[in-house]
Amino acid sequence: MGKLPVEPPSSEITPEGIYKGRREFLKNAALYVGTSAALGGSLWGLVRGGSRADPPLPAADVPPLKTPAPSATGSVAKSAFSTDEEQTPFRDVTTYNNYYELGLDKSDPAQNAGSLRARPWTVRIEGEVKQALTLDIDTLLGWFALEERVYRMRCVETWSMVIPWLGFPLADLIKKVEPTSRAKYVAFETLYDPKQLPGQKSGVLDWPYVEGLRIDEATNPLTMLAVGLYGKSLPGQNGAPLRLVVPWKYGFKGIKSIVKIKFTEAQPSTTWNMAAASEYGFYANVNPNVDHPRWSQENERRIGDITRRKTLMFNGYAEHVAQLYTGMDLKNNY
């Protein structure tokens, strides 16, 4: 048992003022860090809350596509319609999407596409055709040799991409199903299933998404039904398992996840036209001379570029499609 501890000399006792000051300083420092983190965190959540994840790969229930046989030189035969422009990276093509059925932000569809099941899948063909039929997607895929086509894609929001699609001309399918002479238009419909496409629970657009083409637009050799991109099955966010690609029209004409193709005598309704008729017409041809009421269509940003480039008439496909619109006022038929 030792002596009782000696009290430290009074010179070593922290004066009360300094003791309190330190506590005050630490308290203020904690409040500073906490408040800045809380404010910074909530603002960050507001603007970057939904930043993109890696795109899910095509679901395992999709059998691999029979890609076109490589030519003797070892490369896939290139379509005469393909552009040589630099292709937009796969990552951008599959993470920057407008597919409101899978979410409104550009990065949402890639994150939510897991709920969309591409098999089993059937496509109903009806209306003004010799015989209406319901086709299994794999039967349909067996009908045509797939070809790769590298197309420009111009969104009405003034951005664009270059995408290597895999698919077949819509004209081939139309020929096969034999529409009647009364078939003046082709109408398309997206799957309606809020479980698989949860965005359909919101009322932002009328569901299901519907689109349409004039029959001569539908049979133009440029128009294709795509089932893949970059040599693989379409990811959900790009419209698995079957979508329309009409490269001289704004991207929203390229209806995704198609379950119905109907031949009609009257011009079919189209979703964006029903949502805002003054802004989105039936034709929706890419046209730098006809502005969107709220923004210019004169130029576009190619994804990957910093500066903008001039938008081309019919998205650069005028030589193939301009004759479809001879004598038409494209300002009124936007």
Partner 1 sequence: MELTQEDVAGVPKKRRTLKPGARPWLQPALVTGAGLPALGISVQGALGKLGANPIAEALNAFGLLALALLVASLGCTPVKMVTGAGWVQPLRRTFGLLGFFYAALHVLLYLAVDQGLALKAIAADVVKRPFITVGMAAFLMLVPLAWTSTQAQMVKLGGARWRKLHKLVYIAVPLGVLHFVLRVKKDLTEPVIFGAIVAVLLGVRAVTAMRKKGAAAG
Inter-residue contact 115 to 109 (CB < 8 Å): no
* Residue carrying structure tokens 């203020």: 28
CB of 295 to partner 1, least distance (A): 6
* Residue carrying structure tokens 């004209």: 171
- Binders of partner 1 in range 214-273 (CB under 8 A): none
Nearer Cβ to partner 1 (31/328) = 31
Q: What token pair was written down for 150? A: 């590298």
| Binding residue (CB under 8 A) for partner 1 from 15, 74, 142, 327 | 15
CB of 312 to partner 1, least distance (A): 17
Nearer Cβ to partner 1 (94/220) = 94
Q: Does 26 bind partner 1 (CB under 8 A)?
A: no
Contact window for partner 1 (CB under 8 A) among 56-64, 70-78, 171-179, 300-308 = 300-308
CA-CA distance, 101 to 224, in Å (whole number)?
22
Contact window for partner 1 (CB under 8 A) among 1-9, 13-21, 133-141, 319-327 = 13-21
CA-CA distance, 293 to 205, in Å (whole number)?
19
User: Element (H or E) spanning 21, and its range?
Assistant: helix 16-48
| Binding residue (CB under 8 A) for partner 1 from 44, 54, 206, 289 | 44
Contact window for partner 1 (CB under 8 A) among 169-177, 228-236, 257-265, 305-313 = 305-313
Q: Does 95 bind partner 1 (CB under 8 A)?
A: yes
Q: Could you tell me which residues are beta bridge partners of residue 136?
A: 122
Q: Does 40 bind partner 1 (CB under 8 A)?
A: yes
Nearer Cβ to partner 1 (106/119) = 106
| Binding residue (CB under 8 A) for partner 1 from 126, 308, 313, 330 | 308
Contact window for partner 1 (CB under 8 A) among 47-55, 175-183, 187-195, 236-244 = 47-55
First and final C-alpha spacing in the chain: 100
| Binding residue (CB under 8 A) for partner 1 from 76, 135, 205, 324 | 205
Q: Does 306 bind partner 1 (CB under 8 A)?
A: yes
Q: What share of the chain is helix, strand, coil (3-state, %, to 5)?
A: 30, 20, 50
Query: Total residues contacting partner 1 (rule CB under 8 A)?
Result: 54
Q: In terms of C-beta distances under 8 Å and separation of at least 24 residues, what long-range contacts does 198-206 make, across chains too?
A: 198/101, 198/102, 198/103, 198/112, 198/115, 199/99, 199/100, 199/101, 199/102, 199/103, 199/104, 199/112, 200/101, 202/100, 204/100, 204/104, 205/100, 205/271, 205/272, 205/275, 206/271, 206/274, 206/275
| Binding residue (CB under 8 A) for partner 1 from 139, 180, 289, 296 | 296
| Binding residue (CB under 8 A) for partner 1 from 59, 76, 78, 92 | 92
- SS3 of residue 242 by DSSP: coil
| Binding residue (CB under 8 A) for partner 1 from 83, 87, 106, 184 | 106
Q: Does 143 bind partner 1 (CB under 8 A)?
A: no
Contact window for partner 1 (CB under 8 A) among 59-67, 140-148, 166-174, 294-302 = 294-302
Inter-residue contact 309 to 300 (CB < 8 Å): yes
Report how far apart, in Å, the C-alpha atoms of 19 and of each of 10, 24, 31, 32, 229 are.
15, 9, 19, 20, 68
Which residues have CB under 8 Å from 48's CB, separation 6+?
A: none
Residues at the contact surface with partner 1, assessed by CB under 8 A: 15, 17-18, 20-21, 24-25, 28-29, 31-41, 43-44, 46-48, 51-52, 88, 91-92, 95-96, 100, 104, 106-107, 157, 159, 204-205, 275-276, 291, 294-296, 298-299, 301, 303-304, 306-308
